[in-house]
Amino acid sequence: MVIGDGVLTLIAEAPDAETLTRVQHVLGSHLERFGRRHELTVTWDSDADPGGAPTPPAPADHRRPGRH
């Protein structure tokens, strides 16, 4: 995590694309929910997509912890 002037940079790594998508969804959706009042948005950049992309949707098999 790197804090800048009006910017918070998070660096996420994962062993595969599916896991990275899951990590980006969890981090991004939580940050956007907590920052909704201040209109916070999360954009993910990658080597494959340097233009940036919004937080990915939850995977089809995603379940919130403690809910079955």
pLDDT tens-digit readout, 9-32: 888 888 988 888 888 888 888 888
More confident residue, 2 or 47: 2
Instruction: Note the pLDDT of residue 42.
Output: 84
Q: Exposed, middle or buried, 21 (CB in 10 Å: 0-12/13-18/19+)?
A: middle
Q: Please, which pLDDT band fits residue 48 given cuts at 50, 70 and 90?
A: low
Q: How far is CA 47 from CA 40, 44, 50, 51, in A?
A: 23, 10, 6, 9
Measured distance CA(44)–CA(39) in Å, rounded: 17
Measured distance CA(65)–CA(68) in Å, rounded: 8
Q: Please say whether the beta carbons of 65 and 37 come within 8 A.
A: no
